[in-house]
Amino acid sequence: MINSRGKRDTALLKMAKVRKSSEVEEEKNQNQVLVPYLPKDCIFNILVRLPFSSLLTSRMVCKQWYNIIKSQVFIESHLRRSESVFICQTLLKENSDNFQMASTSTEKPHIFSLESCFESSSSVPYLWHLNQQKFSLQYTEFNDCKSKKEEYNVSCHGKVRATCNGLILLTSKLDKDRLIVLNCVTRKLTSPPLGTVFPSNKESYGFVLSNRTGEYKVIHLFCDNLRYVGCEVLTLDKRTWRAVDGPSFGLLKWFGHTPVSAIGALHWLPQIGQSEYIVSMEVDEEKFHIVTLPKTCSKFDGIIELKSLLAFVTHDEFNQIDIWILKGVKEDEWMKHHSITVGCLWDMIPVFSLKISEKVVFWRQEERSFYQYDFLLEEMIQLEMDEDIGFLPSSSFLPHVNSLVSWSSKDAQKFV
């Protein structure tokens, strides 16, 4: 009888343990299925509002999040929500001891060196020339009436020539002349073939996306000794240069102004001040046009992209700045969009516009400071700066956006 009671107690104890184990397992399973059953569209709408720095870690949470962030629909949606910044280069101070005969990079582990990705596999070392300057790639963002410089932790021996949708086009001259296309966020890069080689002061690069084909194009203008301007076009996916007809003789007299991309075209100011027109090239048709300006462009005037349109920002009087809008290259018709009558100074240079908040940023070299005009509040504000960025000519300000965009459609996935 004692044995039967012991067996019964043992059986009851075993049943209790099994029940407890099943309850724990059921609770565990319930906790595991909470996130997967969150609607995918809901996850999408949450992730698309995160800054690019958070996306880099969020895509490692699970396979579902990775596939969402990697999809073309997400990349394009995040691009549309990303605010404009401007990209700049800062000279790195290095000791002469760093210039040595070496075939491997001497960069710090957390710094991504572009040239180290293209170093020759040959065992013959090359000399790092003392006159080769090294730069750090940075960007400046504008929030809450402040401008703040941030690091990409990327270094290079080249010069940023153009930007498009978060992609950067550089020319590098460390071991040999080369082109580099880079996304600083994803650190994905490629080196397309180099076109016609000219001194940097006699050439101009543009970087654009064709709305017709969805392909990224590099536009290269160069001026020979007879002052004829040639033009060649590189489609990144095809990796071949094509010669196209350049602008007529004498139209482009100076390559100091970086071209502005807007309304399906690239636009150049032909000289420093006293310009009566701009030179525009249609991206899809690859044809050049002359567009007459509504008034003569002075030294402190300029063209920028504003609401996806081309804007001519000009000082009408000492205390007034007018903004004219061009809707199409072939129309050649400007419309006055706005007049700024508060806080204007005669030497304010228009730099670019913030595409989300739709504010125009100006640079004043005398103070080495930024100003921001708010269309809604109709006020001009001098922005606080976290540090003195030193001397920068207006041509050094390249509008940019931090994105996950790739130049190749093969890199993106479908959102299912």
- The answer to whether the beta carbons of residues 113 and 172 sit under 8 Å apart is no
Counting every residue, how long is the chain?
416
Q: Which residue has the tokens 């020539």?
A: 161
Tell me how far apart the alpha carbons of residues 127 and 61 are, in angstroms, rounded to a whole number.
44
Instruction: Count Cβ atoms within 10 A of the Cβ of residue 149 and give its class: 0-12 exposed, 13-18 middle, 19 or more buried.
Output: middle
Backbone angles phi, psi at 330, to 5 degrees: -75, -25
What is the DSSP secondary structure assignment for residue 413, as one 8-state letter? B
Q: Which two tokens stand for residue 199?
A: 């001194």
Per-domain residue ranges of the chain: 33-81, 82-92+110-117+129-409
Q: What is the DSSP string of 238-260?
A: TTEEEEE--PPTTS-----SPPE
pLDDT value for 322:
95
Q: Please list the ranges in the chain whose pLDDT falls under 70.
A: 1-9, 11-13, 16, 18, 20, 23-37, 93-109, 119-132, 174-176, 387-396, 409-416
Tell me how far apart the alpha carbons of residues 123 and 116 are, in angstroms, rounded to a whole number.
14
Tell me how far apart the alpha carbons of residues 329 and 344 are, in angstroms, rounded to a whole number.
29
Instruction: Count Cβ atoms within 10 A of the Cβ of residue 147 and give its class: 0-12 exposed, 13-18 middle, 19 or more buried.
Output: buried
pLDDT value for 121:
42
Backbone angles phi, psi at 389, to 5 degrees: -85, 5
- The answer to whether the beta carbons of residues 412 and 406 sit under 8 Å apart is yes
Q: What is the DSSP string of 280-291?
A: EEETTT--EEEE
Q: CATH second-level architecture of 82-92+110-117+129-409?
A: 6 Propeller (2.120)
